[in-house]
Structure 1
Amino acid sequence: MPLPRAGALLAAVILALYAGVAAVVLTAPYGDPFNVVARLLALWGFLALAIAAIMTPFLREIMKVFGRPFLAVHHTFAAIGLLLPTLHPVTLAIGAMNPAIFIPIFSPWGRFWALAGRPALYLLYIAFAGVLFRKYIPKYWRWAHGLMYVVLLFAVVHGNLIGTDFQEPIIWVLFNALFALVVAAFVLKRWQRMRKKGAPGRSDISRA
């Protein structure tokens, strides 16, 4: 089924973001090819996860824009956001022939944040598992899945501290703006949930 006009336009904007990120990475001074690929995977993965998070308060709007169920669209970006960040350290480990890349470092504090992408990968899988096992942990799966916001926080701090491409103004502005939108979406989603829970109370008061 073809996309509605608004969906095609939004899809074109998203593809343009991916193409723009690729252009910045691939036109930078050429280095180790494994490093170049790993950087691109990380940035594209963050972009997918950020888009998946930003759309969460807009269930009806996403359905109208794309003409598809919200979860189908959300899970598409989430799947990309799971795969690409996984391939990021795999590519670095192959290039450096060093599996220590997968080991989180918790001290000193500054080094933990510089290498926060390492624990972020494990939190990403815990967040993903929260969705898979939601039927078995109905009271806790949202908490587990909510770790996705921590993943994005760790990733953007990691990028700002040691990310090669974050030295480019376009990448710095784009990805920090995306994280700001993620935070805004998080707040809006919680506000919507609180409003929904409070709705019966308000109606009761109005009837009284």
Structure 2
Amino acid sequence: MPLSRTGVLASAVILALYAFTGAVVLTAPYESPYNVIARLLALWGFLALSIATLLTPFLRQITEVFGRPFLSVHHTFAAVGLLLPTLHPVTLAIGSLNPAVFIPVFSPWERFWALAGRPALYLLYIAFAAVILRKYIPKYWRWVHGLMYVVLLFAVVHGNLIGTDFENPVIWTIFNALFILVVAAFILKQWQKVQKKRASARRAGA
């Protein structure tokens, strides 16, 4: 099924977001090539994870818009959102020759949030594992997979506190707006579940 007009527009917006963030990173002063690559990986990874999460309340609409099954579109962005954030600390570790970038810091509280990207990476893998193990934990996998929202929270706080590119007001606006949209998508998804349960109860009582 070909892309709809809305799908073409949505694809153009997504590509524009990637192109713009790439341009911001590549045109800003930098200390080393590793710094540039790490920043690109972080921003593009956040974009992919945000988009994958934003799609979840719109299963039928995504299929109509992109001409592909929802899971195909969702998993494409999710895969990119898993790979790029993984490579972000790898690049930093190589550039600084310091593997400590993988070790979460829990104290003091301010430093925990400044470096919240570190625990976010481990939560990302736990959330991803829930999908693979869903048949073994059918009652709980959705709750575990829901850690993705915590991952995005940690990531956006981390970016706001120490992210170099968040000093750009447009980047700051885009990425904080994306997180707000993710929260809105979460609320919408929960509302849909409530409506579905009410409809099922009405049918059962009819």
TM score, norm. by length of structure 2:
0.97
> How far has the Cα of 1:200 moved from its partner?
2.5
Q: Which amino acid aligns with 1:107?
A: S
Query: Which one-letter code corresponds to 2:21 in the other structure?
Result: V
Q: Which amino acid aligns with 1:10?
A: A
> Deviation of residue 13 (structure 1)?
1.0
Counterpart AA for 2:25: V
**Per-residue deviation at 1:194?**
1.1
Alpha-carbon distance in 2 for matches of 1:201, 1:66: 33
**Paired residues of 2:156 and 2:179 also in contact (CA < 8 A):** yes
2:7 corresponds to which residue? 7
Give the percent of matched residue pairs that are identical in Structure 1 and Structure 2: 77
Superposed CA RMSD in Å reads 1.1
TM-score (norm 1): 0.96
Q: Given residue 32 of structure 2, which amino acid in structure 1 is its aligned partner?
A: D
**CA–CA separation in structure 1 for the residues paired with 2:199 and 2:144:** 26
Structure 2 residue identity aligned to 1:15? L
CA distance in structure 2 between the aligned counterparts of 1:204 and 1:145, rounded to whole angstroms: 30
Q: Which amino acid aligns with 1:143?
A: W
Match of 1:110 in 2: 110
Question: Unmatched 5+ residue regions in structure 2?
Answer: none
Q: Which residue of 1 aligns with 2:201?
A: 201
Alpha-carbon deviation of 1:204?
Answer: 5.5
How many equivalent pairs are there?
206
Amino acid at match of 1:40: L
State the alpha-carbon separation in 2 of the partners of residues 99 and 47 from structure 1: 25
SS in 2 for 1:42: helix
Which SS does the other structure have where 1:52 is aligned?
helix
Matched, 1:138 2:138: yes
* 1:101-155 CA distance string (max 9 Å, x none): 1000000100000000000000000000000010110011001100000000000
Q: Hey, what does 1:85 align to over in structure 2?
A: 85
Whether 1:62 aligns to 2:62 is yes
